[in-house]
Structure 1
Amino acid sequence: MTDSLINPQDSIERQNEKLRIIAGALMQRVEQSVDAAGAAYAQFQRAALLEEEVRARTRDLERALDLLNESNARLAIANRETEAARSNLANAIETVQEGFALFNAADELVMCNSRFGMHMPDIRNQLQPGLGFAEYVRIVSSSGNLSLPECETPQIWAAQRLDRHKDASVIFNVRMSRDRWVQVSEHRTPDGGTVILQTDVTDIMRMERQERDRILDDQALLIRATLEHLRQGVCIFDQLGRLVGWNRRVGELLSIPIGRFTIGSSFETIYDQFRSEISLADDLADGEIEDWVRGTRRSGSLSFEIEHRSNRALAVFMQEMPDRGFVISFTDVTPERTAIRAISEANEMLELRVMERTLDLEDALAEAERANASKSRFVAAASHDLLQPLSAAKLYVASLDGEALDPQSHHSATMAASALQSVENILSALLDISKLDSGQANLHLSTVSLDRLLSQLRDELAPTAAAKGLDLRVLRTGADVQSDATYLRRILQNLMSNAIRYTNQGRVLVGARRLRNAVRVEVWDTGPGIAEEEQDLIFGEFQRLNATASAADGMGLGLAIVERACALLSHPLQLRSQVGRGTVFSVELPLAPRDRPQSATEMTTPESWPGDLQHRIVLLIENDKELRNALTLTMENWGLDVLPCQSEAEAQALLTDIDMAPDVIIADYQLDEGKSGLDAVTSIIQAFGPAPACIISANRSIELDLQCQERGLPLLLKPIDTDRLQRFLSGGDP
């Protein structure tokens, strides 16, 4: 009701007047009503509430009107400020000396000043707000005032310009007609728009051109002066093969008057002036040079040598330049070539002399090798021939132990046994050194148990150490090493026996230190020590620091064998010593791979029998009479019954006659008529049944050792060690 009676467009005073009239009419109606008093009062209440609502609406309308008036006032102020700012911006960019244009994020032209496109009046009227950037680039590319290179079309230029527009910041120069230049700077705005500045840089470009021309002139003068000071002759040609520079030296080297060199002369013209006076070296064809100059076969550079008729050798180097021109340099190498020829002639003479001397040396070397081989054969043969009677002598002397001798005879027998042992040691050492020096030593690498080897050496050397009152200690180790069992035993035996020999009191300690992939065996003693200046001498042959020692104490060959054997096996050998405090020898051995087969030192005898030797039948096959008799006498003194035979045939016949199988077989390896003790043992076992057997020999080759291992036969080397022989006969490990 109220919404239809009051017009919001009326003024506040008009609306209040209408409301007062309405309120009066309502009050009059209430007073004139014939209804009950309660209904009249209700009508009055509704009229009062309506009046309060009308007043609240009136206040809201007044506040809204005030806000609207205030907003209109602020908007008017903002419009005035915007127009002022736009006017100021337009005035500002108009005052800029460069051409200015602003594109929005949609690449549409927003505004530009009058200088934008000032060098292109034919398109200036097309640069209006709303113009797209791509259309702007097309219009510029089609302008007649844009000066493009001969090889570049408006379409290519437009495509390149649009590609540059992708970058956030671009600066480049554009050449215009009438030799004018405009620098274009294009930058991206934070909201994705683009600002373009066009600056006339014609004056700067002309100054740079003038400066560049001046610099080029100065450089030309500098290059000219430089060329004149070169020892090489130089010619410079442009990309068309025309002469543009040279120096006087080139005329001197080619014997051409300098006046014949003129700017613009072709290469062919210059070349024809000296072509007939030179000869090409290095198998270079005449046509290859011209092909290179024309560019048909040019590949960077070309170098060769020429011989001038004036006996001058020239090195020629032709190098291509970046502009497709090329430079030719001529270098006089006559002294070098003369020197090379002289050196070549001297070398030929020297080669002849060296060849003659080489032939002489070869003859001397062959003679030395023959002598060395002869010495080695002699040592081997002599050692073998001496070991036979030596073994017999030792056995004869050993047989005297069971005899009732007077003290003087017993002493003489003991001294004889000691002397024979010394002879055996010397012969064995000489034989080992001969093999090591001649390169005939054969190696058999296998897994060797250090515990087993060191325990054997301890048992062997303990009596000698005890006789001197020394404490010999060998520490246990669970290491297995990779080495040659025979040579490793000899190395450690020599080191331990040397330590005992030269230590008068105290102890000798042998142990092994674990390394990453190796074991270092160390032999410590408390002897007198070795002076530093003598430490290199002790590894020589027949070198003994104690000059008063007897031959029974060794001839100074032990360490010589140790050094050679360690070098052969590639086992590093070290020595540390202090005078008065003792010496340490150490040998580094590689650890053996796991799961390897048993080595030679770990082989067991094929069969054992009771240790009682009484009346055991031993078949002895030995072709040397004296050694056969000595062995027979020795074993009979032990209570054995010996059947001595010279050959396999004699042994077969004897066993057949007595119709009895032997308990033990001992056979020499090398029998008469080329027969082998290995074959003899095999034949007898096949004919008369199995029996423990061993081979005796002076042959120390690895081949024999391997053959005995394959057949499971122990090998006793001559001179025969009676202790080892007795251990074998008792069923133990020899």
Structure 2
Amino acid sequence: MNGIAYPVVREGDDEIAQLRARVRQLEKINTALMDRVERSIDMEGGAFSMFETAIALESVVRDRTSALEAAMSELNRVIAELAAANEDATAARILLRDAIESLNDGFALFDADDRMVLCNRAYIRIFPWVEEMSNGSPEFSELATRLANTGATLSSHIAPERWLRDRVERHRRAEGAHVQALSDGRWIQINEIRTSDGGIVGVYTDITSVKAEDARQRALELAERNLALQATLDTLSEGVCLFDAQHRMQASNEGLMRVLALSDGSAEAVRDHAALVRWCVDSLGLDSPEALDWRHETTQRLAAECLIDGRNFIIRSVPLSNGGMVFTFDDVTDHMRLQRSLTETAETLERRVNERTAELVEVNRQLVEAKNEAESANRSKTSFLAAASHDLLQPLNAARLFVSAMDGQALPERPRALVQQTSTALDSVEDLLEALFEISRLDAGAIQPEIVDLPLGGIFNTLRVEFAPLAAAGGLQFDVAETALWVRSDARLLRRVLQNFVSNAIRYTEVGQVVVEVEQHADTLKVIVRDTGPGIAQEDCEEIFEEFRRVGRTQKIPGKGLGLAIVRRVSTMLAHDLALDTTPGKGSAFSITLPCVAPLIVAEREEPVALPSSGAGGMVLVIDNDPAILLGMEALLENWGLEVVAARDPGDPVVASALAQNPAMMIVDYQLDDGLTGDIAIATMRAIAACDIPAMVITADRAEETKALLASLSLPVLHKPVKPAQLRALLRQMDVI
């Protein structure tokens, strides 16, 4: 091949051969015709016959000659095209040869039968023996076999058959690049790719210099790591030495020289493991030579306490995976002295701790007793308040009913004024008791918040309806912002806070306005109740949140000083921040900060179904275990034109008689005698009447469980002391009056 072999281009050979055959055929025909003419002349000898024959032959010869000339012209054209194609092919072959030969990498092309078609000089420089085989278009397997037999690669030198099998298989897959190490130290990267006609192109790159640079870099990195390792070892306070599998010392640190009292001249004394043992035993008086035993059976790290040159050492030995061993010498003399000192100190401290523990046990016992007493007192207070919430409200409720009944009578001016004053005093007592009971429930943890996502607009609407008449009566402008925002809080407790804010603002503002505003921030919003009242001095801003504390001009205005104390407790329970912005003489702005949430889609509420009634002016059945309340309720309801049947127990015969008359309403106390509750009494009386008589419950129990129970039974509830206006409104709503 002389370095490269190329295929010969034979385009147009078949067409030229056909044209030449056609020309030869026409020449034979022409010769035959001429011969026939000559024979005809000899045979007939007639001049006219010869003339006719000559004319016919001339026409035939002319036609044949024209066809021959056309064929020759087409042949010349094809020959010219063929010559041009051969010139182009020759130029292409030259360009291809120059391009392949210009490659620094070896190049070889194999056809679909895996025979070598061509290769360049760079390929032959990599594999010199290929040159003598290239002229015969050898198969790749022949080339690989020759390479394996000569041991030209390291792998083929070790296992030629296995290398040959793997190399031929890798060549047939032609999946990309791989690297071969040659026996002469060169590294060749081989990149083989399959062509579209099923052949294989191979590019062979000598990467020996790259490998050498990589090896140099690795050696440099290894040297740097060795230096770093040595520097690290030298920073250790312990003595460290490393031995290889032949028991020769490979590395040590300055700590070892110091521990073993070695100088630069005596370092050879521990050049191997045996020398190390001899030096430690003979020169330093090691009392436990077994601590330096060479171990092969385990990789577990072992430690032994020893005496070397009169000092305490811990010798640790760690077998390495390559068969070597590492020994460390840790001087623990000072540590052991400190440990003994600490032990003595610990014993002294232990005695003192025992003494103090005994004292603390006694103090703790006293604290437990005090805690138990405090808890007992708290339970007693809670029980007392629970009892008081019923026992105090019972006579207060009766007094309220009697006063309301008297207020409905035609009385002289002086007695009517006394009745109104009595009603005002009862209102004050009622507000005070309700505030005290609410504070007690908050302090006792009896009120648990129900944190939900709720619309702020609903609470604002309640404030607008509830306080608009009160503000109008005081000549104040009362504005509540419209809002569609939602917050996360307890609806009842949040409403209680805002009610206190608005109630205080209206009570203490003489002229101007009270405004409820909303300020929205990133994920919170602030509800502000702003007034134009007297304002609060800065030194009093903290005191107003304490019980029964009223400051400045507010002391002359009716109030108990408990509303803001309740607000502080509720806001702490709900984890809502309170704020007060005030200027004396210009007004105040109380605010609470709430977490803002995305609005929820709430289904439309169904209109409540009206309870059946017997019409206005019907009979009302009242059940209460307090005779005074029965008398007051009877007097109040009769003033409203109702017929009243009163009883202390649902089992009273008058109850059965009243139920037979189908009363318009049943008003039942929740806490009756013998543990009977109002809900059960109502269910019993409805069963006796065999119909669903409208009913309501009156109770002094403000527990959330009681409210939830009665709400689940769809029983309206009024809390004692009953406000006659609320009772009358409820009776009107239920079409009783």
Q: Return the TM-score normalized by structure 2.
A: 0.66
**Alignment of 1:470 onto 2:476:** yes
* Aligned counterparts of 2:711 and 2:335: Cα–Cα separation in 1: 70
Match of 1:391 among 377, 397, 418: 397
Tell me by how many angstroms 1:722 deviates.
Answer: 1.5
Q: Deviations over 1:365-388 (max 9, x none)?
A: 444434433333333334433323
Aligned AA (1:173)? A
Aligned AA (1:238)? D
**Alignment of 1:175 onto 2:183:** yes
Aligned AA (2:560)? M
Structure 2: gaps spanning 5 or more residues: 1-21
Aligned AA (2:474)? K
Q: Is the Cα–Cα contact under 8 Å of residues 182 and 200 in structure 1 kept in the other structure?
A: yes
* Aligned counterparts of 1:394 and 1:671: Cα–Cα separation in 2: 20
* Aligned counterparts of 1:510 and 1:566: Cα–Cα separation in 2: 18
* Aligned counterparts of 2:710 and 2:95: Cα–Cα separation in 1: 117
Tell me by how many angstroms 1:82 deviates.
Answer: 12
Which runs of structure 2 are paired with 1:311-326 in the superposition (5 Å)?
318=318, 320=320, 325=324
Q: Which residue of 2 aligns with 1:669?
A: 670
Q: Mean Cα displacement is larger for which, 716-725 or 381-390?
A: 381-390
Q: Is the Cα–Cα contact under 8 Å of residues 606 and 713 in structure 1 kept in the other structure?
A: no
Give secondary structure in 2 for the equivalent of 1:394: helix
Tell me by how many angstroms 1:233 deviates.
Answer: 2.4
**Alignment of 1:134 onto 2:134:** no
Give secondary structure in 2 for the equivalent of 1:549: helix
* Aligned counterparts of 1:471 and 1:214: Cα–Cα separation in 2: 89
* Aligned counterparts of 1:83 and 1:663: Cα–Cα separation in 2: 119
Q: Which residue of 1 aligns with 2:553?
A: 548
Tell me by how many angstroms 1:468 deviates.
Answer: 0.8
Q: Structure 1 residues 267 and 506 mapped into 2: Cα distance closer, same or farther (>3 Å)?
A: farther
Q: Is the Cα–Cα contact under 8 Å of residues 101 and 111 in structure 1 kept in the other structure?
A: yes
* Aligned counterparts of 2:371 and 2:684: Cα–Cα separation in 1: 47
Q: Mean Cα displacement is larger for which, 329-338 or 208-217?
A: 208-217
Q: Which residue of 2 aligns with 1:373?
A: 379
**Alignment of 1:262 onto 2:271:** yes
Q: Is the Cα–Cα contact under 8 Å of residues 476 and 512 in structure 2 kept in the other structure?
A: yes
Q: Which residue of 2 aligns with 1:435?
A: 441
* Aligned counterparts of 1:481 and 1:79: Cα–Cα separation in 2: 87
Which runs of structure 2 are paired with 1:296-315 in the superposition (5 Å)?
298=299, 307-308=305-306
Q: Which residue of 2 aligns with 1:419?
A: 425
Cα RMSD over matched residues?
6.7
* Aligned counterparts of 1:107 and 1:272: Cα–Cα separation in 2: 75
Q: Is the Cα–Cα contact under 8 Å of residues 716 and 725 in structure 1 kept in the other structure?
A: yes
Q: Mean Cα displacement is larger for which, 558-567 or 471-480?
A: 471-480
Q: Is the Cα–Cα contact under 8 Å of residues 269 and 276 in structure 2 kept in the other structure?
A: no
Q: Which residue of 1 aligns with 2:242?
A: 236
The percent of aligned pairs where both chains have the same amino acid is: 23
Q: Deviations over 1:63-115 (max 9, x none)?
A: 5797799899999999999999999999x99xx9x998956443438578799
Tell me by how many angstroms 1:175 deviates.
Answer: 2.7
Tell me by how many angstroms 1:422 deviates.
Answer: 1.9
Tell me by how many angstroms 1:263 deviates.
Answer: 2.3
* Aligned counterparts of 1:722 and 1:212: Cα–Cα separation in 2: 99
Q: Structure 1 residues 556 and 362 mapped into 2: Cα distance closer, same or farther (>3 Å)?
A: same
Give secondary structure in 2 for the equivalent of 1:397: helix
Tell me by how many angstroms 1:421 deviates.
Answer: 1.2
* Aligned counterparts of 1:647 and 1:704: Cα–Cα separation in 2: 21
Match of 2:720 among 713, 718, 721: 718
Tell me by how many angstroms 1:428 deviates.
Answer: 0.7
Paired residues, what number? 686
Q: Structure 1 residues 710 and 128 mapped into 2: Cα distance closer, same or farther (>3 Å)?
A: closer
Q: Structure 1 residues 584 and 32 mapped into 2: Cα distance closer, same or farther (>3 Å)?
A: farther
* Aligned counterparts of 1:60 and 1:208: Cα–Cα separation in 2: 73
Match of 1:108 among 107, 116, 123: 116
Aligned AA (1:174)? L
Q: Structure 1 residues 730 and 184 mapped into 2: Cα distance closer, same or farther (>3 Å)?
A: closer
* Aligned counterparts of 1:209 and 1:154: Cα–Cα separation in 2: 27
Q: Structure 1 residues 308 and 477 mapped into 2: Cα distance closer, same or farther (>3 Å)?
A: same
Q: Is the Cα–Cα contact under 8 Å of residues 30 and 44 in structure 1 kept in the other structure?
A: no
Q: Deviations over 1:422-454 (max 9, x none)?
A: 221121112112112211225689999999987
Structure 1: gaps spanning 5 or more residues: 1-6, 281-285
Q: Is the Cα–Cα contact under 8 Å of residues 107 and 193 in structure 1 kept in the other structure?
A: no
* Aligned counterparts of 1:696 and 1:86: Cα–Cα separation in 2: 111
Q: Which residue of 2 aligns with 1:249?
A: 255
Aligned AA (2:142)? E
* Aligned counterparts of 1:683 and 1:332: Cα–Cα separation in 2: 92
Q: Is the Cα–Cα contact under 8 Å of residues 442 and 701 in structure 1 kept in the other structure?
A: no
Q: Structure 1 residues 500 and 699 mapped into 2: Cα distance closer, same or farther (>3 Å)?
A: same
Q: Deviations over 1:512-532 (max 9, x none)?
A: 99999x998967555449789
Q: Is the Cα–Cα contact under 8 Å of residues 233 and 250 in structure 1 kept in the other structure?
A: yes
Q: Structure 1 residues 158 and 220 mapped into 2: Cα distance closer, same or farther (>3 Å)?
A: same
* Aligned counterparts of 1:626 and 1:635: Cα–Cα separation in 2: 14
**Alignment of 1:401 onto 2:407:** yes
Q: Structure 1 residues 405 and 571 mapped into 2: Cα distance closer, same or farther (>3 Å)?
A: farther
* Aligned counterparts of 2:494 and 2:656: Cα–Cα separation in 1: 41
* Aligned counterparts of 1:730 and 1:107: Cα–Cα separation in 2: 112
Q: Is the Cα–Cα contact under 8 Å of residues 611 and 731 in structure 1 kept in the other structure?
A: no
Aligned AA (2:150)? S
**Alignment of 1:621 onto 2:631:** no
* Aligned counterparts of 2:259 and 2:722: Cα–Cα separation in 1: 90
Q: Deviations over 1:525-576 (max 9, x none)?
A: 55449789799848833377763235874334334434544665x5857768
* Aligned counterparts of 1:628 and 1:714: Cα–Cα separation in 2: 19
Q: Structure 1 residues 232 and 491 mapped into 2: Cα distance closer, same or farther (>3 Å)?
A: same
**Alignment of 1:561 onto 2:566:** yes
Aligned AA (2:183)? R
Tell me by how many angstroms 1:701 deviates.
Answer: 1.6
Q: Is the Cα–Cα contact under 8 Å of residues 146 and 175 in structure 1 kept in the other structure?
A: yes
* Aligned counterparts of 2:88 and 2:644: Cα–Cα separation in 1: 141
Q: Which residue of 2 aligns with 1:283?
A: none
Tell me by how many angstroms 1:721 deviates.
Answer: 1.0
Q: Which residue of 2 aligns with 1:652?
A: 653
Tell me by how many angstroms 1:174 deviates.
Answer: 2.2
Match of 1:153 among 136, 154, 159: 159
Tell me by how many angstroms 1:718 deviates.
Answer: 1.5
* Aligned counterparts of 2:638 and 2:165: Cα–Cα separation in 1: 119
Q: Mean Cα displacement is larger for which, 163-172 or 449-458?
A: 449-458
Q: Structure 1 residues 686 and 110 mapped into 2: Cα distance closer, same or farther (>3 Å)?
A: closer
Aligned AA (1:719)? P
Q: Which residue of 1 aligns with 2:8?
A: none
* Aligned counterparts of 1:275 and 1:136: Cα–Cα separation in 2: 68
Q: Is the Cα–Cα contact under 8 Å of residues 571 and 589 in structure 1 kept in the other structure?
A: no
Q: Return the TM-score normalized by structure 1.
A: 0.67
* Aligned counterparts of 1:611 and 1:363: Cα–Cα separation in 2: 62
**Alignment of 1:705 onto 2:707:** yes
Give secondary structure in 1 for the equivalent of 2:392: helix
Give secondary structure in 2 for the equivalent of 1:608: coil
Aligned AA (1:135)? E
Aligned AA (2:671)? Q
Q: Is the Cα–Cα contact under 8 Å of residues 609 and 731 in structure 1 kept in the other structure?
A: no
Tell me by how many angstroms 1:140 deviates.
Answer: 3.0
Q: Is the Cα–Cα contact under 8 Å of residues 154 and 181 in structure 2 kept in the other structure?
A: no
Q: Deviations over 1:454-493 (max 9, x none)?
A: 7776555444222112355678999999987765664554
